[in-house]
Amino acid sequence: MSTDHYTLSSGEIHREPLSAGTRAPEFTLPTTPDQTVSLSDFHGQPVVLAFYPADWSPTCGDQLSLYNQLLPEFQAHGAQLLGVSVDGVWCHRAFEEDRNIHFPLLADFEPKGAIAKAYGVYRDDVGTSERALFVIDAGGIIQWSYVSPVGINPGADGILRELEALSTTVELEEGR
């Protein structure tokens, strides 16, 4: 596989991160040595996928600590936050404990980067994912995606803006 494209399970070649309107690829990844999390576990609620390069990098630590502080805001919109990197479960566990993280960190470890590749955000040249964000609606459709430069914390404004838009859409559909 060349470094400028990704092959999805459907055989489709994808060169960019998956965009709004695309069905989010299903996955099951370990979160502990004996537990897994699947995207389908959260069917019926929004999901925020935060791909990040590595647990112990300073920018990743800042980004995930910010999201941890903002968890009540994500939860107010009924959204589940999931962190995803190519680090293994033991690395995630140590990082979660050190940073007091209260949302699942998923190990896209074996085969390395398979889920990052499915979402179009794997960096073959260094073997990590991009710093990428996806907001997926309750029906499993990507509503927003963003790739930040690896060394820059993307913050949470885009995520919160999209979750607010999703909440407003749901309220309008329910006639509130």
d(CA 129, CA 116): 6
What Å distances lie between residue 85 and 40, 77, 108, 132, CA to CA?
19, 24, 6, 10
- Strand 142-148 with 80-85, pairing: unpaired
d(CA 169, CA 164): 9
106 neighbors 31 (Cβ within 8 angstroms): yes
Catalytic: 91? no
The kind and range of the H/E element at 64 are helix 58-69
For 23, which DSSP code? B
Point out the catalytic residue in the list 49, 60, 89, 133: 60
d(CA 95, CA 116): 20
- Does residue 139 sit in helix, strand or coil? coil
Active site residues: 60
